[in-house]
Structure 1
Amino acid sequence: MKTLEFVLNGLMRRYSERVPDVNKVAHAMIAEGVITDANEIENDHVAFRTIGVPQLGIQSFEKIFLHFGYKKRDFFNFEVKKLNAYWFSPPEPHFPRIFVSELRVDDLSENAQRIIKSYTDEVETDPADNLDLNDGVAIDEFLHNPLWRTPSWEDYNALLKESEYAAWVIYNRYYLNHYTISVHNLKEGYNTIQKFNGFLEKFDVKLNDSGGKIKVSPDGGLLQSSTVAEMIEAEFFDGKKHSIAGSYVEFAERKVLPQFGSLSLDEIERNHRREGFETGNADKIFESTFTSQTMKAEM
């Protein structure tokens, strides 16, 4: 499992450098005495976005993590956003779950399809098939190097008008979209989404309010919130520089399942809590990178 740890550490290192809220939240937690060290934070899950074309998408990306023992679980359909997704359970409980989504390119307009395929067609075969999945360095480089040329501002902007998800992926590629702090395992006073959100806002952390700041599954067992994506200065193929949405941080509270309600706090383990994901919650979390949220956060 050392190779998997190496890959996950590489993802988190670059992600932390790119998303100031990662360290901002961790430092605030330390300052408040919620934790003593950032390594104490439990990572509920990480998420990736992909483009659904034959040589890429989930079917390609999943090969990396299936190799490390992750198991493919539930399918999700996001009708309006034109996305498919699956989540993957880890080989050991201390590793994060993985959520991978893909854009249904064929559901977009002909013009958007043409723009996207002008980039993705540069990838002629499934790149995961040529990757040594036992080589952590090779995987780390693959996840952080572009598969296609840097888009032009015109192409990015055209996609943004039709699918903000498409625009995000065409520029950011496989950059980690977000990681997720498990708040239910924090100390009393911070171990619910409601209390943790209050703590975050005290430190001026901007939260995604699409569908409400707290997204709740129909069964009430999964509660989630997220920051609004960090804006990054992006340089496009034609040399133009613009501020665009990067990545963000998510927070999750998984309630103890009713059948384990009699367990004491020190007896509760991961398998005693609500598992999986929820389409309605995830649909609104996606919007953490959308202009409806990022423009509001800058006001």
Structure 2
Amino acid sequence: MGNSTENTLEKVLTSLLTPYKKSVTDVTKITNAMLAAGIIENEKDIANDHIAFRTLGVKHLGIASFEKIFLHFGYEKKGFYNFEEKKLNAYWYAPPAEHFPRIFISELRVDDLSEQAQKIIYKYTDPITQDPIDSLDLDNITDVANFFYKPLWGLPSSEEYTTLLNETEYAAWVIYNRYYLNHYTISIHDLPEGYNTVEDFNNFLEGIQIKLNTAGGKVKISGDGLLKQSSTVAKMIDATFSDNKTLKIAGSYVEFAERKLLPEYSETKKEDIKRNYRRDGFETANADKIFESTYTQQTK
């Protein structure tokens, strides 16, 4: 990966995270509390484990379209995940260099929904007659940065949003928020002793009145026990719809991930640990419950 490509990717990620941090107030609250407690000396001490996006699995959109941005910057497509009950597919992408976050992209299997839900979604996506990524100059920072916040389809009505919400909360989130960054993830194992497990960090978070997602328990643990995750509950935001009605809907949230050492590296000294010594990838059961950080059962 050349320096210019790496610099462009760095700026693209910054363009994503800057508005996200302004919108998700928990980010600043957590960062300031970490600074005050001496957990970190500078915001740059926080390692970003991964960022995640939600998409709609329809022609010209979805994973096949959205992934082109990150593949262009050297990301490598890795494991596939199927969320049967939520009707979702997902992939994760390994970064071109260790200091960049992993990417997690999910998409809704729209054709698995009811006829009514499909009709609403296709009303907004059918006018998109070509892949919007294909018209982007992926080496142009402004082009790429603007794309993430560019409305590819019109605002739904409050009634359409509510109809989708009653069937699939994922669809309702995407139809309004579009490609907005769903969450970023603080890497917990990189923090100092006393804060470097999800359990300890959750205690710290609750001590500063951060509300945690309890779906599947506050700590989501992979089958091999090597990946632990937790997340905040998305804050409710005021959303105005095409019929000029305003509803409170779920925004984005913050996730926390602890990747334990693989068995063959379990005796490695801390200063000798490399990224690939730790459990990589994701876990379907964990992610399934993390999705619910924006769901009514949590946000209410």
TM-score (norm 1): 0.98
Q: Tell me the amino acid that sits aligned with residue 124 of structure 1.
A: T
Aligned with 1:66 (options 65, 71, 90): 71
Of 159, 166, 169, the match for 1:164:
169
Number of equivalenced pairs: 295
Q: Which residue of 1 aligns with 2:217?
A: 212
The match for 1:281 is 286
Alpha-carbon displacement from aligned partner over 1:40-65 (angstroms, at most 9, x marks no partner): 10000000000000110000000000
Question: What's the CA shift for 1:122?
Answer: 2.3
**Distance across 2 between alignment mates of 1:232 and 1:18:** 9
Aligned partner letter, 1:190: Y
- CA displacement at 1:8 relative to structure 2: 0.3
Can you list the C-alpha shifts for 1:256-283, whole angstroms capped at 9, x where unaligned? 1110112101111111100000000000
- Aligned partners of 1:24, 1:124: CA distance in 2, in Å? 42
1:234-273 → structure 2 map (5 Å cutoff): 234-273=239-278
Structure 2 CA distance, aligned partners of 1:252 and 1:293?
19
Other structure's SS at 1:144 match = coil
Runs of 4+ in 1 over 6 A off after TM superposition: none
Q: Is 1:229 matched up with 2:250?
A: no
Counterpart CA distance in 1 for 2:208 and 2:150 is 34
Q: CA deviation at 1:39?
A: 1.4
- Between the aligned partners of 2:217 and 2:229, the Cα distance in structure 1 is 10
SS of residue paired to 2:79: strand
Per-residue displacement from partner, 1:229-272 (whole Å, max 9, x unpaired)? 01111111111111100000000000011101121011111111
Unaligned runs of 5+ in 1: none
1:149 and 2:154 aligned? yes
Question: Which of 14, 34, 43 is the aligned partner of 1:38?
Answer: 43
Give runs of aligned pairs for residues 38-187 of structure 1, distance below 5 A: 38-187=43-192
3-state DSSP class of the match of 2:233?
Answer: coil
CA–CA separation in structure 1 for the residues paired with 2:15 and 2:242: 26
Amino acid at match of 2:286: N
Range with bigger deviation, 195-204 or 232-241 = 232-241
Matched position secondary structure for 1:87: strand
Letter paired with 1:58: I
Residue 28 of structure 2: which of 23, 27, 34 is its match?
23
User: Which residue of structure 1 aligns with residue 3 of structure 2?
Assistant: none
Stretches of structure 2 lacking an aligned partner (at least 5 in a row): 1-5
RMSD: 0.5
CA distance in 1, matches of 2:267, 2:209: 37
| Post-superposition offset of 1:2 | 1.0
Q: TM-score, length-normalised on structure 2?
A: 0.98
- CA deviation map 1:114-156 (0-9, x unaligned): 0000011121110011111111110000111110001110100
Structure 1 position 2 matched with structure 2 position 7: yes
Give aligned-pair identity as a percent.
62
Distance 1:91 1:260 in 2: 23
Task: Tell me how far apart the structure 1 counterparts of residues 124 and 112 of structure 2 sit (CA, whole Å).
Answer: 17
User: What is the distance in 2 between the residues matched to 1:16 and 1:172?
Assistant: 15
Q: What does the per-residue CA deviation read over 1:154-180, in whole Å, with 9 as the maximum and x for residues that have no partner?
A: 100000000000000000001000000
Secondary structure at the residue paired with 2:148?
Answer: helix
CA distance in 2, matches of 1:33, 1:145: 38
